[in-house]
Structure 1
Amino acid sequence: MTQIELRGVQKFFGAVQVIRDLNLKIEDNEFIVLLGQSGCGKTTTLRAIAGLETVDEGDILIDGQPVQHLKCSDRDIAMVFQSFSLYPHMTVYENIAFPLRATRMNKGEVDKAVGEIAGVLRITDLLAKKPSALSGGDMQRVAIGRALVRRPKAMLMDEPIGALDAKLREEMRAEIKRLHLKQGSTTIYVTHDQIEAMSLADRIVIMHEGVLQQVGSPQDVYAHPTNLFVAQFVGSPVMNVADATVSANGSGAKVAMEGSQEGFTFPNQLLGMLDSANGANGNLALGIRPEGVLVAKEALSGYLPVEAHIIEPLGSYDIVDLKVGSQMLRARTRSGFVPRAGDKVWARIDPAQAHFFDKLSGNSLGVRL
């Protein structure tokens, strides 16, 4: 079993604090993805776990033992970088065998270990080749094999497929997930690509300016973002967010977006829920993902007339920009549902998919219908 825990970790580069009071527990065999923008502290966190960076405060524990004072070579952790960092004068076999030979393992054991890893990574036929003869995807497999061959306690990956083209990235995502399931090692993976995070992670750790924003399963962070940053960082296209006001409207509630006299109809219980959450103070933001914006070709009860502005055909579905007052709402529709920009259609918001945030703090009010 390999558990990794960070307790109150702080890291400064001069006067700049890049990790702020980070607390995180990673369970045995878990695949954790650190997700965030460039400069958010995710790579520094990974390097601190590996021992390539020191921490100014806090503890890093592996299997319950503090390791922040240990050299990286004493932590039994392997790391894969974005650059392949293979020895160009060595064959694939020699690159993978290098960490085993460094420990003076006998040749028979080295041959067996390299053969097993090459089989898992499906590169057995490449063992005699040098890196210059390999594709980008194959070079990354070799780099992963070199890290895995000595069976470390944990595998750390710093944007390992960021330098590959789109098709290779897709293939390597599947390979990395397959490898994790087969090997069962604790894995921490750093990326700024939310598609990678959503497709690979057991849990996603979202960071912003050195601060942990939310930890949860891909489904959880997508459906229940804890604040506006998470709401607009996770998901493609991003969540629609607009200033909004909520008022009573007969037996229901009206949610009006800024610049619009008309509003979307919501259940009456929304008013009480916002009052309980102290969210009816004029600092309200409405969040709705594109699939929560429902579009019709004719006037229906609860739908508002809107105009289609931009249509992005994406194969199996379209993303359509709809103007509501002075705001734009992006809706997801089936392919070709809205034929042309400028067409008049009708739209409503699915109350069950609506999120409400405090504009000042950015935090979710936790109001879901």
Structure 2
Amino acid sequence: MADIVLRDVEKYFGESYIVRKLNLEIRHREFLVLLGPSGCGKTTTLRAIAGLEEIDSGEILIDGRPMQSRQAADRDIAFVFQLFALYPHLSAYENIAFPLRATNEKRSVVDRRVREVASALRIEGLLGKRPSALSGGDMQRVAIGRALVRRPKALLMDEPMGALDAKLREEMRAELKHIHIENEATTVYVTHDQVEAMAMADRIAIMNDGVLQQVGLPADVYQYPANLFVAQFVGSPIMNIVDGTVRPGDGCTDVVLGEDDAVQRFPVELYRKMAGRRQGEDRLAIGVRPEGVLVALQPGDGYFPAEAHIIERLGPYDIVDLRFGTQLFRSRTTSGYVDKAGRAVWARLDEKQTHFFDRRSGESLQVRL
């Protein structure tokens, strides 16, 4: 398949700066997800790789060869659009076969490849139907089949499951990853849904306002976010963030949440690490994911009093909103652990899951216990 490299890629639409000095390497046979909010430049980046958008500066290389002078048809890349883009007057079979017929492949080759792809996508029984007789999920399978049938160097997908219902999206996530593995494809997948990204990606590239924020394994971007944007974009519910300070305590480090809304006692080595970063008593943003907020029903050493404000019961676990002082933190607990809203509880932060960010720049201080 293909290695794809973007070097200092920039794209403007008029005076709007859409993609800003983007440097990214997509590895051979990798499933890379471009993740970010609407308007962040991820679809423009995908279209630039495909040759559907011209870049203003920089380089795009596929297998080491510059692509700027090549038309989309000469890049050997397939593109799956969000809204299917099927030919309404053709059957599913003919839609899938269209790229092969356009290159004058033999009829026997066309038939074999169409049926192989249809079998992989489990749409053999739909080949005789036109798009108007298919469901949204089936139409998306046909669109993916049309992209896969000619075995391109790379497969680019622009939010292909955006129009599907939740159950079908879950099924399609597994199918698309299976297809990627079976076809040994290099796949670039665009989405704003961080659950899709976490479930499918080999690596995730997170963008915001045209700038690449972080690239890494799903577990790494979740556990070690590079900045406040990544911390609060990846994860559901998002990471709790509160202004605070870190100061030396009596044989410990005091982590102050808010304006003395709560004080947590962390090991003394934390202050030493912070002082080494010249952040000893500067204003910080302190972050912790819901699973790092520990809840108890009785007072305990290191726990501060709080009140269960709202409880979301989600089956295998609950999300409990905790109010203390002027702050509101979300915690993940076992199902039914806190029986009702308004109950007095006690909470503390797991010191190994607490993150510290520079409030001015938003960058992670990379200080962890």
The TM-score, its normalising length taken from structure 1, stands at 0.99
Aligned residue in 2 for 1:231? 231
Write the deviation string for residues 67-104 of structure 1: whole angstroms up to 9, x where unpaired. 01110000000000110111111111111011111111
Kindly indicate whether the alpha-carbon contact (under 8 Å) linking 2:245 and 2:281 is maintained by their aligned counterparts in 1: no
Aligned residue in 2 for 1:89? 89
Aligned residue runs from structure 1 range 322-337, under 5 A: 322-337=322-337
- Post-superposition offset of 1:131: 1.2
Aligned residue in 2 for 1:220? 220
- Post-superposition offset of 1:367: 0.3
Write the deviation string for residues 137-174 of structure 1: whole angstroms up to 9, x where unpaired. 11111000001101000000000000111111111111
Aligned residue runs from structure 1 range 337-348, under 5 A: 337-348=337-348
Structure-2 change in CA distance of 1:114 and 1:341 (3 Å): same
In the alignment, the residues of structure 1 paired with residue 326 and residue 160 of structure 2 have an alpha-carbon distance, to the nearest angstrom, of 42
Alignment-mate amino acid for residue 131 of structure 2: P
Kindly indicate whether the alpha-carbon contact (under 8 Å) linking 2:291 and 2:331 is maintained by their aligned counterparts in 1: yes
Kindly indicate whether the alpha-carbon contact (under 8 Å) linking 1:9 and 1:56 is maintained by their aligned counterparts in 2: yes
Aligned residue in 2 for 1:143? 143
Aligned residue in 1 for 2:297? 297
In the alignment, the residues of structure 2 paired with residue 345 and residue 110 of structure 1 have an alpha-carbon distance, to the nearest angstrom, of 66
Aligned residue runs from structure 1 range 76-115, under 5 A: 76-115=76-115
Aligned residue in 2 for 1:211? 211
Write the deviation string for residues 266-308 of structure 1: whole angstroms up to 9, x where unpaired. 1111111111112224221100000000000101111111111
In the alignment, the residues of structure 1 paired with residue 248 and residue 325 of structure 2 have an alpha-carbon distance, to the nearest angstrom, of 20
1:23 is aligned to 2:23:
yes
Kindly indicate whether the alpha-carbon contact (under 8 Å) linking 1:259 and 1:327 is maintained by their aligned counterparts in 2: no
Q: Secondary structure at the match of 2:219?
A: helix
Alignment-mate amino acid for residue 124 of structure 2: T
In the alignment, the residues of structure 1 paired with residue 129 and residue 368 of structure 2 have an alpha-carbon distance, to the nearest angstrom, of 57
Write the deviation string for residues 304-349 of structure 1: whole angstroms up to 9, x where unpaired. 1111111111111111111122111111001111111110011010
Kindly indicate whether the alpha-carbon contact (under 8 Å) linking 2:204 and 2:216 is maintained by their aligned counterparts in 1: yes
- Post-superposition offset of 1:121: 1.0
- Post-superposition offset of 1:259: 3.0
Kindly indicate whether the alpha-carbon contact (under 8 Å) linking 1:257 and 1:324 is maintained by their aligned counterparts in 2: no
In the alignment, the residues of structure 2 paired with residue 169 and residue 358 of structure 1 have an alpha-carbon distance, to the nearest angstrom, of 37
- Post-superposition offset of 1:262: 3.7
Q: Runs of 4+ in structure 1 displaced over 4 angstroms? A: none
- Post-superposition offset of 1:260: 2.9
- Post-superposition offset of 1:258: 1.0
Alignment-mate amino acid for residue 214 of structure 1: Q
Kindly indicate whether the alpha-carbon contact (under 8 Å) linking 1:292 and 1:331 is maintained by their aligned counterparts in 2: yes
Which runs of no fewer than 5 residues in structure 2 stay unpaired? Answer: none
Aligned residue runs from structure 1 range 161-310, under 5 A: 161-310=161-310
In the alignment, the residues of structure 2 paired with residue 65 and residue 168 of structure 1 have an alpha-carbon distance, to the nearest angstrom, of 38
In the alignment, the residues of structure 2 paired with residue 220 and residue 94 of structure 1 have an alpha-carbon distance, to the nearest angstrom, of 43
Alignment-mate amino acid for residue 223 of structure 1: Q
Write the deviation string for residues 172-230 of structure 1: whole angstroms up to 9, x where unpaired. 11110111111110000000000000001000000000000000000000000000000
Deviates more, 1:154-163 or 1:246-255: 246-255
Alignment-mate amino acid for residue 8 of structure 1: D
Pairs aligned (count): 369
Structure-2 change in CA distance of 1:19 and 1:305 (3 Å): same
Write the deviation string for residues 19-47 of structure 1: whole angstroms up to 9, x where unpaired. 00000111100000000000000000000
Q: Secondary structure at the match of 2:338?
A: coil
Kindly indicate whether the alpha-carbon contact (under 8 Å) linking 2:159 and 2:189 is maintained by their aligned counterparts in 1: yes
In the alignment, the residues of structure 2 paired with residue 259 and residue 325 of structure 1 have an alpha-carbon distance, to the nearest angstrom, of 9
Q: Secondary structure at the match of 2:181?
A: helix
Which runs of no fewer than 5 residues in structure 1 stay unpaired? Answer: none
In the alignment, the residues of structure 2 paired with residue 112 and residue 139 of structure 1 have an alpha-carbon distance, to the nearest angstrom, of 21
The TM-score, its normalising length taken from structure 2, stands at 0.99
Aligned residue runs from structure 1 range 120-135, under 5 A: 120-135=120-135
- Post-superposition offset of 1:248: 2.1
Aligned residue in 2 for 1:368? 368
In the alignment, the residues of structure 2 paired with residue 221 and residue 228 of structure 1 have an alpha-carbon distance, to the nearest angstrom, of 12
In the alignment, the residues of structure 2 paired with residue 262 and residue 73 of structure 1 have an alpha-carbon distance, to the nearest angstrom, of 61
In the alignment, the residues of structure 2 paired with residue 201 and residue 239 of structure 1 have an alpha-carbon distance, to the nearest angstrom, of 21
Q: Secondary structure at the match of 2:68?
A: coil
Q: CA RMSD in A?
A: 0.9
- Post-superposition offset of 1:249: 2.2
- Post-superposition offset of 1:261: 4.9
Alignment-mate amino acid for residue 265 of structure 2: T
